[in-house]
Amino acid sequence: MRVLWALALCCVISLVGESTAIDAADIGSLISKGLFEKMLKRRNDGSNCQGKGFYTYEAFIAAAKSFGAFGTTGDVNTRKREIAAFLAQTSHETTGGWPSAPDGPYAWGYCFLKEQGNSDYCVQNRQWPCAPGRKYFGRGPIQISYNYNYGPAGKAIGSDLLHNPDLVATDATISFKTAFWFWMTPESPKPSCHDAITGRWTSSPADTAAGRVPGYGMTTNIINGGIECGKGATAQADNRIGFYKRYCDILGVSYGSNLDCNNQKPFD
């Protein structure tokens, strides 16, 4: 699995409990359990998916309620696109699919709990020092990695992930919360994925000159722009778009504009 980039500590903010005009519970009116099961159709395939039985709809909804603006910002179509975008990006990070997979490659999101290889990813950091004997390899929907991400993510959601990183692979609600934290938290000069997909972020003159515009492609730039963006079409970025289109189709919403980051300069 790809190693996540570092979030700048000075810019980490908690959006837990962010106020919104629409109750976060209303997200359930846009994505029912039936739709969730259809979108992540093959995640519980025991022969191929390490995470069988872990990523539940109930955990997804419970975690979403901790981030009130997720899936409740903007009109109905904007809200549906954000749900599709979040599930698509995290499906890419956890995919167990392959080109000829049953039901297609984009029915296999959320197959993996842990990064393959279980590398350490402990680096020197005064504020978030590594706990003895703990490893900070990728876990959960966004495959959160490194001690300097586990520490602030845990603080934001009220769990000591620095000393207990395995919670991200053993508690489904906590696991989803780390992904929502990543999604909702900006890292300057990058906006949050939430703001990029809901239209709350607008391009500065410098962003416009760099081809960076709101839309799904911008969320890819935020997540992994240094590897996937500004290089024309890439297999990784195309895979992310494939998941997104499938999920938008299931939710009954158009894709919006700017799906790729082929001509966007990365931030890093």
Catalytic residues: 93
130 sits in which H/E element: none
3-state secondary structure of 260: coil
For residue 16, give the nearest of 194, 145, 222, 140 by alpha carbon: 194
Which one-letter DSSP state was computed for residue 231?
Answer: S
Cα-based distances in Å from 51 to 29, 48, 54, 265:
26, 9, 5, 34
Which one-letter DSSP state was computed for residue 238?
Answer: H
Cα-based distances in Å from 125 to 2, 66, 129, 164:
21, 28, 5, 17
Within 13 Å of residue 58, how many CA atoms lie on the same side as its CB? 3
3-state secondary structure of 204: coil
φ, ψ (nearest 5 deg) of residue 195: -70, -35
3-state secondary structure of 74: coil
Q: Using CA atoms, how far apart are residues 189 and 206, in angstroms rounded to an integer?
A: 11
